[in-house]
């Protein structure tokens, strides 16, 4: 199980925003895009 955090900015993430708990993806590919900095607490 993985947790995906995303911002709705285009067609793909708009479609992802309609998924409910228990729904699934057919495939996952990554990493893509630019790395993000995370605040260490």
Task: Say what the pLDDT of residue 18 is.
Answer: 95
Distance CA 35, CA 16 (A): 20
Task: Say what the pLDDT of residue 33 is.
Answer: 76
Task: Say what the pLDDT of residue 9 is.
Answer: 93
Task: Say what the pLDDT of residue 41 is.
Answer: 73
Collapsed DSSP state (helix, strand, coil) of residue 17: coil
Cα 15 to the center of its chain, rounded Å = 11
pLDDT tens per residue across all 41 residues of the chain: 778 899 999 888 899 999 998 898 888 877 777 777 777 77
């Amino acid at each position: 199980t993985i947790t995906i955090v995303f911002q709705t900015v285009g067609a793909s993430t708009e479609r992802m925003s309609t998924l409910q708990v228990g729904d699934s993806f057919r495939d996952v590919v990554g990493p893509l895009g630019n790395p993000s900095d995370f605040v260490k607490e």
